[in-house]
Amino acid sequence: MRMMALFTYLKVRLASRKGQGMVEYGLIIGIIAVILVAALTVLRGPLETLFSNIAAIITGNTPAAPAGGGGGS
């Protein structure tokens, strides 16, 4: 009889949806965190250059001119 009571207890506990919303929010936050880490990893170089140029402008140093392109006469 104890096994049947244990089975019933587990069935009720597993069927409960009490924490479902929190788990869904946790999954959403986790997915967003993974996307942000991937994006920042890919954009590390350009962001580093951007912030270096901003820091140079603020401190009064002139940032190095970007390489390439010219064209026009």
Tokens representing residue 30 in the block: 């986790």
**Which alpha helices (H) appear in the chain, and where do they start and end?**
2-15, 20-42, 44-59
pLDDT value for 12: 75
pLDDT above 70: residue 27: yes
CA distances to 5, 11, 24, 27, 45 from 21, rounded to whole Å, are 28, 20, 5, 10, 38
Mean pLDDT of the chain: 83
pLDDT, tens only, 34-58: 999 999 999 999 999 999 999 989 9
pLDDT value for 22: 87
Q: Where are the domains of the chain?
A: 20-59
> First-to-last CA distance in the chain?
93
pLDDT value for 69: 60
pTM of the entire predicted model: 0.51
